[in-house]
Chains A and B, each alone.
Chain A
Amino acid sequence: MKKLLELTVNGEHYEVLVEPKTLLIDVLRDQLGLKGAKRGCDSGSCGACTVLLNGKPVHSCSILALQANGGEILTIEGLADGPNLHPIQEAFLDHWALQCGFCTPGQIIAAKALLDENPNPTEEEVKTAMNGHICRCTGYNMITEAILDAAKRLQEARR
Chain B
Amino acid sequence: MKEYSVVGKATRNIDGVAKVTGEARYTFDMTLPGMLYGKLLRSPHPHARIISIDTSEAERLPGVKAVITGKDTPGGKYGPWRRFPELMDEEALVTTKVRFIGDAVAAVAATREDIAKRALELIKVKYELLPAVFNPVEAAKDDAPQIHDGVENNINITRHIEWGDVDEAIKIADYVREDRYELSSQSHAPLEVHDALASFDKSTGRLTVWTSTQSPYYVQLGLADALKMREGDIRVIKPHVGGAFGGKISTYPEQICAAFLSIKTGKPVKIVLNRQEEFAVTRRRTPMYIATKIGAKKDGTIVTKEVKVIADGGAYTALGSTALYLVGIYSSFPYKIPNYRFDGCRVYTNNNPSSAMRGFGGPQAVFISETQIDRLAHDIGIDPIEIRRKNGMTPHYVVPGQATIESCGLHDCIDKVEQKVKEWGELPKYQGVGMVCYGFMSGGIFNWINTPYAFSGAMVRVNIDGTVDLFTQASDLGQGSNTVLAMICAEELGISLKDIRLHVADTGITPVDLGAWGSRQTLMSGNAVKAAAAEIKRKLMDVARIKLGENIVYDLEAKGGRIYLTLRPERGYSYYDIVKDAIRYNDGEPLIGTGHYTPHGKGMVSPAFTFGAQAVKVEVDIKTGRVKLLDIATAHDCGQVINPPAVRGQVEGATAMAAGCGLTEELLSEDGLVLNASLAYYKILRYRDMPHITTLEVHTHEPEGPFGAKEAGEGLTTPTAAAIANAVYHAVGVEINSNPLTAERVFKALKALKKNKAT
In the assembled complex, A139 has its CB within 8 A of some CB on chain B? yes
A140's partner among B15, B16, B645, B690 (CB-CB below 8 A) is B690
Please determine whether B478 and A76 come into contact, CB atoms closer than 8 angstroms. no
Please judge, given known A-B contacts A101-B242, A101-B478, A104-B20, whether A128 and B652 are in contact too, CB under 8 Å. Answer: no
Within 8 A of A (CB), among B191-224: 191-192
Tell me how far the C-beta of B446 lies from the nearest C-beta in chain A, rounded to whole angstroms: 25
Please determine whether A134 and B679 come into contact, CB atoms closer than 8 angstroms. yes
Tell me how far the C-beta of A71 lies from the nearest C-beta in chain B, rounded to whole angstroms: 19
Please determine whether A45 and B17 come into contact, CB atoms closer than 8 angstroms. no
Instruction: Enumerate chain B residues within 8 angstroms of A89, measured Cβ to Cβ.
Output: 20-21
Instruction: Enumerate chain B residues within 8 angstroms of A127, measured Cβ to Cβ.
Output: 687-688
Q: Nearest 5 pairs between A and B by C-beta? A: A36-B22, A100-B478, A102-B242, A101-B19, A139-B656
The contact sample of 13 A-B pairs, CB cut-off 8 A, is A29-B29, A38-B28, A46-B191, A85-B17, A93-B13, A100-B190, A102-B26, A134-B191, A134-B686, A136-B243, A137-B479, A139-B652, A141-B652
- Most interface-central of A42, A46, A137 (chain B CB within 10 A): A137
Please determine whether A140 and B243 come into contact, CB atoms closer than 8 angstroms. no
A-B contact count (CB 8 A): 163
Please determine whether A38 and B688 come into contact, CB atoms closer than 8 angstroms. no
Instruction: Enumerate chain A residues within 8 angstroms of B687, measured Cβ to Cβ.
Output: 126-128, 130-131, 133, 140, 143-144
A38's partner among B242, B480, B679 (CB-CB below 8 A) is B242
Please determine whether A99 and B688 come into contact, CB atoms closer than 8 angstroms. no
In the assembled complex, A138 has its CB within 8 A of some CB on chain B? yes
Instruction: Enumerate chain A residues within 8 angstroms of B76, measured Cβ to Cβ.
Output: none
In the assembled complex, A68 has its CB within 8 A of some CB on chain B? no
Instruction: Enumerate chain A residues within 8 angstroms of B649, measured Cβ to Cβ.
Output: 96, 99, 137-138, 142
Tell me how far the C-beta of B25 lies from the nearest C-beta in chain A, rounded to whole angstroms: 7
Within 8 A of B (CB), among A89-147: 89, 92-96, 98-105, 108, 126-128, 130-144
- Most interface-central of A46, A89, A102, A128 (chain B CB within 10 A): A102
What 0/1 readout, one digit per residue, does chain B (350-388) give for beta carbons within 8 Å of chain A? 000000000000000000000000000000000000000
B: which residues have CB within 8 A of A? Answer: 12-13, 15-26, 28-29, 189-192, 240-243, 245, 274-275, 477-480, 645-646, 648-649, 652-657, 678-680, 684, 686-688, 690, 692-693
Please determine whether B21 and A96 come into contact, CB atoms closer than 8 angstroms. no
Please determine whether B680 and A95 come into contact, CB atoms closer than 8 angstroms. no
In the assembled complex, A52 has its CB within 8 A of some CB on chain B? no
Instruction: Enumerate chain A residues within 8 angstroms of B20, measured Cβ to Cβ.
Output: 76, 85, 89, 92-93, 98, 101, 104, 108
Please judge, given known A-B contacts A101-B478, A134-B679, whether A140 and B656 are in contact too, CB under 8 Å. Answer: yes
Tell me how far the C-beta of B47 lies from the nearest C-beta in chain A, rounded to whole angstroms: 29
Instruction: Enumerate chain A residues within 8 angstroms of B679, measured Cβ to Cβ.
Output: 40-41, 43, 45-46, 134
Please judge, given known A-B contacts A43-B679, A45-B678, A138-B652, whether A100 and B242 are in contact too, CB under 8 Å. Answer: yes
In the assembled complex, A34 has its CB within 8 A of some CB on chain B? yes
Please determine whether A100 and B646 come into contact, CB atoms closer than 8 angstroms. no
Please determine whether B191 and A99 come into contact, CB atoms closer than 8 angstroms. no
Tell me how far the C-beta of B154 lies from the nearest C-beta in chain A, rounded to whole angstroms: 33
Apart from A38-B191, A104-B20, list 7 A-B contacts with CB within 8 A: A35-B29, A39-B28, A85-B20, A100-B477, A134-B191, A136-B191, A136-B657
Instruction: Enumerate chain A residues within 8 angstroms of B692, measured Cβ to Cβ.
Output: 141
Instruction: Enumerate chain A residues within 8 angstroms of B16, measured Cβ to Cβ.
Output: 92-93, 98, 101
Instruction: Enumerate chain A residues within 8 angstroms of B15, measured Cβ to Cβ.
Output: 101
In the assembled complex, A32 has its CB within 8 A of some CB on chain B? no
A: which residues have CB within 8 A of B? Answer: 29, 34-46, 48, 75-77, 79-80, 85, 89, 92-96, 98-105, 108, 126-128, 130-144
Instruction: Enumerate chain B residues within 8 angstroms of A140, measured Cβ to Cβ.
Output: 656, 686-687, 690
Instruction: Enumerate chain A residues within 8 angstroms of B479, measured Cβ to Cβ.
Output: 99, 137
Tell me how far the C-beta of B554 lies from the nearest C-beta in chain A, rounded to whole angstroms: 41
Tell me how far the C-beta of A34 lies from the nearest C-beta in chain B, rounded to whole angstroms: 7
Q: How far is the CA of A85 from the CA of B678 in the complex (A)?
A: 34
Instruction: Enumerate chain B residues within 8 angstroms of A98, measured Cβ to Cβ.
Output: 13, 16, 19-20, 478
Tell me how far the C-beta of A57 lies from the nearest C-beta in chain B, rounded to whole angstroms: 15
Please determine whether A105 and B22 come into contact, CB atoms closer than 8 angstroms. yes
Q: How far is the CA of A133 from the CA of B24 in the complex (A)?
A: 19
Q: How far is the CA of A126 from the CA of B648 in the complex (A)?
A: 21
Instruction: Enumerate chain A residues within 8 angstroms of B191, measured Cβ to Cβ.
Output: 38, 40, 46, 48, 100, 102-103, 134-136
Tell me how far the C-beta of A79 lies from the nearest C-beta in chain B, rounded to whole angstroms: 8
Q: How far is the CA of A40 from the CA of B189 in the complex (A)?
A: 10
The chain A residue sitting closest to B692, CB to CB, is A141
Please determine whether B29 and A80 come into contact, CB atoms closer than 8 angstroms. no
Please determine whether A41 and B275 come into contact, CB atoms closer than 8 angstroms. yes
The chain A residue sitting closest to B693, CB to CB, is A141
Q: How far is the CA of A5 from the CA of B653 in the complex (A)?
A: 41
Please determine whether A99 and B480 come into contact, CB atoms closer than 8 angstroms. yes
Instruction: Enumerate chain A residues within 8 angstroms of B652, measured Cβ to Cβ.
Output: 138-139, 141-142
Instruction: Enumerate chain B residues within 8 angstroms of A40, measured Cβ to Cβ.
Output: 191, 275, 679
B690's partner among A42, A80, A95, A141 (CB-CB below 8 A) is A141
Tell me how far the C-beta of A11 lies from the nearest C-beta in chain B, rounded to whole angstroms: 15
Instruction: Enumerate chain B residues within 8 angstroms of A102, measured Cβ to Cβ.
Output: 26, 190-192, 242-243, 478
Please determine whether A99 and B680 come into contact, CB atoms closer than 8 angstroms. no
Tell me how far the C-beta of A19 lies from the nearest C-beta in chain B, rounded to whole angstroms: 10
- Most interface-central of A44, A96, A135 (chain B CB within 10 A): A96
Q: How far is the CA of A99 from the CA of B358 in the complex (A)?
A: 15
Q: How far is the CA of A40 from the CA of B479 in the complex (A)?
A: 19
Please determine whether A100 and B192 come into contact, CB atoms closer than 8 angstroms. yes
Please determine whether A136 and B275 come into contact, CB atoms closer than 8 angstroms. no
Q: How far is the CA of A3 from the CA of B363 in the complex (A)?
A: 53
Please judge, given known A-B contacts A98-B16, A101-B15, A102-B191, whether A137 and B478 are in contact too, CB under 8 Å. Answer: yes
The chain B residue sitting closest to A109, CB to CB, is B22
Please judge, given known A-B contacts A140-B687, A141-B692, whether A100 and B243 are in contact too, CB under 8 Å. Answer: yes
The chain B residue sitting closest to A146, CB to CB, is B20
B653's partner among A45, A99, A105, A128 (CB-CB below 8 A) is A99
Tell me how far the C-beta of B681 lies from the nearest C-beta in chain A, rounded to whole angstroms: 9
Instruction: Enumerate chain A residues within 8 angstroms of B12, measured Cβ to Cβ.
Output: 93-94, 96
Instruction: Enumerate chain A residues within 8 angstroms of B189, measured Cβ to Cβ.
Output: 136
The chain B residue sitting closest to A77, CB to CB, is B22
The chain A residue sitting closest to B643, CB to CB, is A96
Please determine whether A131 and B243 come into contact, CB atoms closer than 8 angstroms. no
Q: How far is the CA of A37 from the CA of B649 in the complex (A)?
A: 23
The chain B residue sitting closest to A129, CB to CB, is B687
Q: How far is the CA of A12 from the CA of B688 in the complex (A)?
A: 37
Q: How far is the CA of A140 from the CA of B29 in the complex (A)?
A: 25
